[in-house]
Structure 1
Amino acid sequence: MDAFYRSQFIRKIELLHDQVPSSQKYPFNIPAIRSLTELTLHPNATFLIGENGMGKSTLLEAIAISIGFNPEGGTFNFNFSTSDSHSELEQYIKVVKGVKRPKDGFFLRAETFYNLATNIEELDREPGGSERIINSYGGVSLHEQSHGESFFAAFTNRFTGNGIYILDEPEAALSPLRQLSLLSRMHDLINKNSQFIIATHSPIIMAYPDSIILELTENGIKHSKLEETDHYSIMKQFFDDKDRLLHHLFT
């Protein structure tokens, strides 16, 4: 098992408590962040889940920035800034890496993917480039596709394997069928020695086998099984007896 975990790109995340300026200051006042000591990640896929405001996207963003990604997403080579709104958490976490180094990587954020697509078009308009960046995304402008299509173009074409892929709520743009297709693509890439860290609300996405689910709550961070999560339970209640659930909601 130790050798198995040493094979991953990112092994652990540690919060440097002795350097935190104030536990009353954002983002350190978020309960899950305040109680964080260290998180061991899975070599294949780690899912960060929790209700809105629990800090999963904040933590994911800090991990991404700490290993060299642009706060608004993209590969390691992007350095544009549309809105400097990320927290300072990345300054206070330590990323413990494995012995391998990724040959590829991508930070995908649903809320800033439009900005990434715009930056790609701007770079491709600059003179002197040997090859258009958009070619590695399938060759079609991301702005000329639906949100879901442009997301999937990145998954399908730009993610090449032997990489670290950090995804923030990818389900925001994907239909249930496309979420299943994302699982299939994830599996292909994991078989090509890739590692995923994903913040999600989707029970479909977090169902990927041989992974771990870390749930951020008011009481800290805990390991959960899919069937133990509120996300799964609520969806199961809805589909098992939607009329009863809706009756309680509307009365």
Structure 2
Amino acid sequence: MALKEIVKLEEKFEGRENRYPFNIPSINNLSRLEIKSNVTFFVGENGSGKSTLLEAIAYQCQFNTAGGGRSNVYDLASSESDLGDYIRLSWLPKINQGFFLRAESFYQFANHIDDIAKEYPSVYDSYGGSSLHEQSHGEAFLSLFMNRFGRKGIYLLDEPEAALSPARQLTFLSIIHELQKQAQFIIATHSPILLGYPNADIYSFDDQAIRLVQYEETDHYQITRRFLENRSIYLNELLN
């Protein structure tokens, strides 16, 4: 494990508390966040700050905040991290390898790889041997995970389940399990399947402060379980 701690730079925060994204409660109340596991999940409702913090970590790692690693240079509107300059990362040891996956901008990342391939066709070797656009969305994600993520590094994934069926989410769990032996993952997700990975740390962003929770405490688990066990009751209340 390499990334040990995320620290908010309090002195730089002063005067910005009422501006987005600094006014998000979980971010505003953040002091420091310890990373103790090779697999860490960020969970919370949309707007809770989990993706904002993940992008700030990517910025501090010098990954492209549009998606990619240090060597992926391309532009995407609204990809700059406003929070990135206001946190500090503590490492032991420092790792420069890795990748930031933004599910929402994966299409643009695939375009970027195609542009590189016009001059260096061998770039496809790191993505399953063909253009990511020539694979289904789910296949492209799995190609990225299985080929591009093979080295020691830190991998920051924002909602990787977006393109994965439940069956492929299970496949992804097995990929994580193999890679975490030499790599570190921080994953922002809504998936109760991915959150079930054993011995991972789960940080909830839904309260005023970020807090460590158990799998069974997450809304993702509780709501999914209650719906599956009481589908007729839920649907009757929602639709009638």
- TM superposition score category, shorter chain reference: over 0.9
Residue 136 (structure 2) aligned to one of 140, 143, 146: 146
| Residue pair 1:110, 1:169 contacting (<8 A) in 2 also | yes
- 2:60 maps to which residue? 66
Distance 2:115 2:12 in 1: 39
Distance 2:227 2:78 in 1: 39
The one-letter code sitting in structure 1 at the alignment partner of 2:153 is G
- 2:211 maps to which residue? 222
Task: Render the CA deviation track for 1:152-182: whole Å, top value 9, x for unaligned.
Answer: 1101111113121110000111000000100
The one-letter code sitting in structure 1 at the alignment partner of 2:32 is E
Distance 1:229 1:163 in 2: 28
Residue 15 (structure 1) aligned to one of 8, 12, 19: 8
Give the deviation of 1:82 after TM superposition: 2.2
2:107 matches 1:107: no
Give the deviation of 1:100 after TM superposition: 5.0
Residue 135 (structure 1) aligned to one of 125, 128, 131: 125
Alignment of 1:156-195 (within 5 A): 156-191=146-181, 193-195=182-184
- 1:4 maps to which residue? none
Task: Render the CA deviation track for 1:204-235: whole Å, top value 9, x for unaligned.
Answer: 10111121000002411111111011110000
Q: Which runs of 4+ in 1 moved over 4 A?
A: none
Task: Render the CA deviation track for 1:5-33: whole Å, top value 9, x for unaligned.
Answer: xxx21100011111114100110100000
- RMSD across aligned positions (CA): 1.3
Residue 192 of structure 2 aligns to a residue whose secondary structure is coil
Distance 1:87 1:220 in 2: 21
Distance 1:84 1:203 in 2: 29
Distance 2:42 2:223 in 1: 18
Count the aligned residue pairs. Answer: 239
**Which sits farther off after the overlay, 75-84 or 51-60?**
75-84
| Residue pair 1:42, 1:211 contacting (<8 A) in 2 also | no
Instruction: Structure 1 unaligned segments of length 5 or more: list them.
Output: 1-7
Distance 2:91 2:122 in 1: 32
Query: What is the TM-score normalised by the length of structure 1?
Result: 0.91
Query: What is the TM-score normalised by the length of structure 2?
Result: 0.96
2:28 matches 1:38: no
The one-letter code sitting in structure 2 at the alignment partner of 1:60 is L
Percentage of matched positions with identical amino acids: 47
